[in-house]
Amino acid sequence: MSNCAVEHVRRVRSVVLDRAGAGHPATGSRITRSWIRCLNEYQLDPGACVEPQVVAPVELRERQERLAEVQEVAKVEMANLYQQLAGSGYAIMLTDREGVLLNYFGDPAFTHAASRSGLMQGAIWSERVQGTNGMGTCLVERRPISVHQDEHFLSRNIGLSCAAAPIFDHEGELVGVLDASGESRLAQQHTLALVSMSVQMIENRVFLHRFRHDFILRFHNRPEFVGTLNEGAIALTAAGTVLAATRGALLQLGYTTPAEIVGRDISQLFNITFPGLVDSTVRRAYHPVPIFEVRSSARFFAVVFQPVAAAAPRRPVRCAESVLPDAPDALAALHFGDPAMAANVTTARRVMERNVSFVLLGETGTGKEMFARAVHAGGSRAARPFVAINCASIPETLIESELFGYRSGAFTGASKDGQRGKLLQANGGTLFLDEIGDMPVSLQARLLRVLEEREVVPLGGETPVRLDIRLISATHCDLLQKIEAGQFREDLYYRLQGVTLTMPPLRERADRRALIRHLAAQESDEGAPVVLDEPLLAALEHQRWPGNVRELRHLLRTMVALREADRLTLRDLPPQYRAGRTVTGPLTDAAEGPGTPLNPLESAERDALLRELQRLQWNMSGVARQLNISRNTLYRKLQRLNIDHPDKSTVH
């Protein structure tokens, strides 16, 4: 045993035996209490150098399945927390209530040392097995706790610094612990606060998910905190009886256990009737409405969310392109504090429950479709279909049948069963018309008629069908300019335009850094979490991003896939992003011009594309069709390959 370990053992024994230990930092009462338990109750030897105890893989899987819902939510929060602590040598861990380590996100620099210390999946970190430690002692104390270096009981653990917080379920049962541990010499003051915040986020999100088929009242004494991790949430039956409440709700209302309010009518807690509150929430378009607590008359602001229909197809957490959390947080998840996006979300929430049409403007890849999906997911139509149609990528001749459908045999090549058009497929839900500016003028008249008459006659059919759709249109072009040029109908423009929102380009978003981290976490969430070092983050933050968030996501996806280590640096950045294309760099504008070096493959692609463009006299739809790609993709290629249209104004 090293001198240091011998000294530690001597100190532990002396503190426990005379319970004095004057002058030693570890005599804080919780640590002392734990040491006493370890020595007297569990009969542990502080100098023991035992191997970590690990449960069998089958048992680990069973334990993980038992906590599957918490784990699913915790994974995202663990990745976020890991990003926040990245570089400080921490590993983030989740244990169950017996202290078995279920999930581990580790700093690569620390993983090896961590597994030597027993910080690995399946290891048991209860206080009874490992003595005083963040995870185990937190389970006993049921409170957030830091255990720094020689505050550990076993001398083999004194290299560690741990910050741990307990996770409770809606019944107040302790279900596990979230912990950040590292070999850091300096206990980071803020680590415990970050871990506690992550736990609060996990508890809230698990609660919202578990009670998604019930009414949920979300409240805070400041309206802007409704929907944040500080809010309180109460699940209610359709009759307004309390089913469960979050810790945040109990804290704000001055109760200590859920049992004190479960089973009571909501009107016994707040001076409201439940139907009245549901009504005013909907009338105020999900803006928090003031309510008063019965006992203290304290004012709160509340929103009631309606149950998500049980029959609704569950939105996959991760789909090919877009990642959306469960409603109603989909809109909030679209930004991390950018004022323009925040204002868009506020406006959308205000009108979401009224059948107002939206027009979404913004450059390609700024998230127009994602925004439309979030509006759909957050509203009362969430359980009904969301149908998207891209007017730029469907050949003009087919848009009509795509929209209106057709009867069997309506035209050569039509399916023999016919097809319901997108308008009918979207009935009751949302129709998203992407690149509306590219809709042929003849079809615009027909669409306008349908929107005014609110019924549609399928192609080749006779009986009109009643339509109830929310329409969200998107375009990257200037529709007013198109109207002037006679390419877009003014009357349709006014019919589509209930609320117009502009998605900011990525280079102008104030929350770029958080968004980059968030996307990197999402892109790496199936493997070990990836950390971006500071120079790389700064370089990404200052790119021009002509393809906006889409381009950023694809770049991160590529970098994550090709990485050699879990810490990405400037060396992982593809060459075309290294020089020049920054917003503030010296090559700012010139970088988009022909000066940017292309690799040989890109040069060949550029030549081939130029030949095709010249052959078809720059008819963009024709070239896109010829190459079997969408016009959006074609425009993106032009941008990427530095091809300027001879008449620049027509290239968007």
Q: Which residues bind ligand ATP (CB under 6 A)?
A: 321-322, 334, 362, 364-370, 434, 474, 476, 549-550, 553, 632
Taking the C-alpha atoms of 257, 259, 261 and 263 in order, what is their torsion angle to the nearest 10 degrees? Answer: 160
Q: Could you write out the DSSP letters of every residue in 576-631?
A: HHHSS-BSSSTTTTGGGTTTS---HHHHHHHHHHHHHHHHTTT-HHHHHHHHT--H
Sign of the dihedral defined by the CA atoms of residues 474, 475, 476, 480, in that order: negative
Q: Residues in the chain, how many?
A: 652
Q: Which CB, 94 or 201, lies closer to ligand ATP?
A: 201
Position with the least CB separation from ligand ATP:
367
Smallest gap from Cβ 589 to ligand ATP, in A, equals 22
Q: What are phi and psi of 448, to 5 degrees?
A: -60, -45
Contacts for 415-423: CB closer than 8 Å, 24+ residues apart? 418/458, 418/460, 420/458, 421/456, 421/458, 421/459, 422/387, 422/389, 423/450, 423/456, 423/467, 423/469
Smallest gap from Cβ 79 to ligand ATP, in A, equals 14
Residue type (1 letter), 360: L
Sign of the dihedral defined by the CA atoms of residues 216, 221, 224, 230, in that order: negative
Q: Which CB, 158 or 629, lies closer to ligand ATP?
A: 629
Q: Are 457 and 445 in contact (CB under 8 A)?
A: no
Residue 364 vs residues 109, 335, 341, 518: alpha-carbon distances, Å: 39, 17, 16, 20
Smallest gap from Cβ 388 to ligand ATP, in A, equals 9
Q: Are 371 and 324 in contact (CB under 8 A)?
A: no
Calpha distance 582→540 (Å, rounded): 8
Smallest gap from Cβ 393 to ligand ATP, in A, equals 9
Q: Which CB, 315 or 368, lies closer to ligand ATP?
A: 368
Q: Which CB, 170 or 518, lies closer to ligand ATP?
A: 518
Q: Are 517 and 83 in contact (CB under 8 A)?
A: yes
Smallest gap from Cβ 635 to ligand ATP, in A, equals 9
Q: Which CB, 104 or 635, lies closer to ligand ATP?
A: 635
Q: Which CB, 166 or 367, lies closer to ligand ATP?
A: 367
Pairing assessment for the beta strands 232-236 and 289-292 based on DSSP bridges: unpaired
Q: Is 69 exposed, middle or buried (0-12, 13-18, 19+ CB in 10 A)?
A: middle
Q: Which CB, 164 or 345, lies closer to ligand ATP?
A: 345
Q: What are phi and psi of 89, to 5 degrees?
A: 75, 25
Q: Which CB, 365 or 378, lies closer to ligand ATP?
A: 365
Cβ neighbour number for residue 611 with a 10 Å cutoff: 10
Smallest gap from Cβ 26 to ligand ATP, in A, equals 45
Smallest gap from Cβ 378 to ligand ATP, in A, equals 14
Sign of the dihedral defined by the CA atoms of residues 516, 517, 522, 525, in that order: positive
Q: Which CB, 31 or 334, lies closer to ligand ATP?
A: 334
Residue closest to 174 by CA, chosen among 208, 209, 126:
126
Q: Which helix (H) or strand (E) holds 389?
A: strand 386-390
DSSP-derived 3-state class of residue 388: strand
* Residue whose token pair is 């996006």: 341
Smallest gap from Cβ 199 to ligand ATP, in A, equals 24
Smallest gap from Cβ 551 to ligand ATP, in A, equals 8
Calpha distance 332→228 (Å, rounded): 9
Q: Which CB, 261 or 555, lies closer to ligand ATP?
A: 555
Q: Which CB, 362 or 429, lies closer to ligand ATP?
A: 362
Smallest gap from Cβ 372 to ligand ATP, in A, equals 8
Smallest gap from Cβ 63 to ligand ATP, in A, equals 32
Smallest gap from Cβ 456 to ligand ATP, in A, equals 25
Q: Which CB, 277 or 552, lies closer to ligand ATP?
A: 552
